[in-house]
Amino acid sequence: MALTTDAAMVLYYDIAGDTADHDDWHTFEHLHERLSIPGFVRATRWIAAPGTPRYLIVYEVDAVDVATSPHYLARLAAPTPWTRAMMPRFRGMVRGFCTVVASAGYGLGRAAVSLRFSVDGDGARLRDTLARAALPAMADRRGVASVHLLAPAPPPPMTAEQALRGRDLPMGWLALATGDDAEALEAAVRAHLDRATLEALGAADVHEPSRHAFHYTATAAEVARAPANVVPPSRFRSP
Quickly state the pLDDT bin for 232 (edges 50, 70, 90).
Answer: low
CATH number of residue 17's parent domain: 3.30.70.100
Give percent of the chain above pLDDT 90.
87
Quickly state the pLDDT bin for 236 (edges 50, 70, 90).
Answer: low
Domain contains 58: yes
Domain contains 232: no
pLDDT at 239: 47
Structural domain boundaries, residue 126 = 7-224
Contact in structure between 105 and 144 (CB atoms under 8 Å): yes
Say yes or no to pLDDT of 238 above 60: no
Q: How far is the C-alpha of 62 from the C-alpha of 66, rounded, in Å?
A: 7
pTM value? 0.94
CA distances (Å), origin 122, targets 99, 126, 171: 12, 9, 15
SS3 of residue 43 by DSSP: strand
- Number of domains observed in the structure of the chain: 1
pLDDT tens digits, 48-86? 998 999 999 999 999 999 999 999 999 999 999 999 999
CA distances (Å), origin 62, targets 69, 81, 102, 109: 11, 28, 16, 22
| Residue 175: HSE in the Cβ half-sphere, 13 Å Cα cutoff | 31
pLDDT at 235: 52
Domain contains 61: yes
Q: How far is the C-alpha of 210 from the C-alpha of 186, rounded, in Å?
A: 9
| Burial (0-12, 13-18, 19+ Cβ within 10 Å), 189 | buried
